[in-house]
Amino acid sequence: MKILVIDDDHTLRTSLRGFLEDCGRDVVLAEHGAEGLKLLGEDPEIGIVLVDLNMPVLDGYGFISSARKLRPHLPIIVLSGVGVLDDAIEAIRLGAWDFISKPVMNLDVLLHSLDSALEKATLIEENKRYQDHLEELVRIRTQQLEKANERVVHCLGKAAEFRDNDTGHHVVRTGEISVILATALDMGPDFTRLIRLAAPMHDVGKISIPDSILLKPGPLDDAQWEIMKRHTVYGCEMLHFDTKVENGGCTLSLLEVLAGQDDLISMAQRIALCHHERWDGRGYPNGLGGGDIPVEARIVSLVDVFDALGSARSYKKALPQELCRRKILEARGTYFEPAVVDAFERHYAEVVDVRARLTD
């Protein structure tokens, strides 16, 4: 570690260097603050500074202020004979660690000040390394937890899909295509990261629907259809861990509580509950319309319908891809938000690529 001595008095500079080098210290010299700042920026081995206050070009006050921005924890000891008390107070206020008045009659005082400053600097550096280490451990652990959550979420979504599709690729495609549309709508990286994970859980409530209804090869009667529509509420309730809502359950009150909560489970609940709502207000379970439908549900609604139309099930055949596309465009402003349909159309080639890569 080097000691930087900044003083416009050539005799004092050289005398201090000789004394400190005799004491086994490595010393570099500067004759004013500007030169000292230049050396400080160029030489990372400089670990402590002795600086005069009254100097040409850039005085000690200016050096201390600039050095603090460059190296916030750099030990700086002021060595000056001007003003003494008032100048010492000002120097300490600017960030100096100690003040020694000139002329220095006892050089042991200087060595003591240097040793104390170096000891303090060492403790600060060790504490910083410790804090950095803790932050890195927290970062790694957080990543591990996020990966574990992603796997659980992915498996939960696929568990629902396996009820009526033996590959589970629909839920994966739903997440990937939702990301394409969210990106096209400038929803931001945090939103797109969450919707990739949350979208696959849109139909998790189907786990609660009886096979006699879910896998029925023909049309559902009115009573069966009412049960089928409940998968939206069931899915939301499956994800409803500790949200406090009066009377419980996935109601519009819960939707108000979830509004603005930017976490995975909250988004998944909103999607599960609202992905069958329609832009014109004629969807289910709550008949929401327009901007009252959470934007993530507006996105997943289109993606779910498009992918389901083109996917074979035990009770239906897959439609040709171009026909699926036309049906989405025809539903602009009724089933689906116009802006989401427009994003779908602009990025249709990317959507098709996802279906090709993740085919059943």
Residues that are catalytic: 206
Asked if the bond preceding 285 is cis, omega within 30° of 0, the reply is yes
Least Cα distance to 338 among 177, 185, 199 occurs for: 185
For the chain, give percent helix, strand, coil, nearest 5.
60, 10, 30
- The rounded distance, in Å, linking the Cα atoms of 163 and 40 is 67
Q: Which helix (H) or strand (E) holds 8?
A: none
In a 3-state reduction of DSSP, which class is residue 359?
coil
Name beta bridge partners: 51. 6, 78
- The rounded distance, in Å, linking the Cα atoms of 197 and 149 is 9
DSSP 248-287: -SSSHHHHHHHTT--SHHHHHHHHHHHTT--TTS--SSS-
Tokens of 171: 């839920």
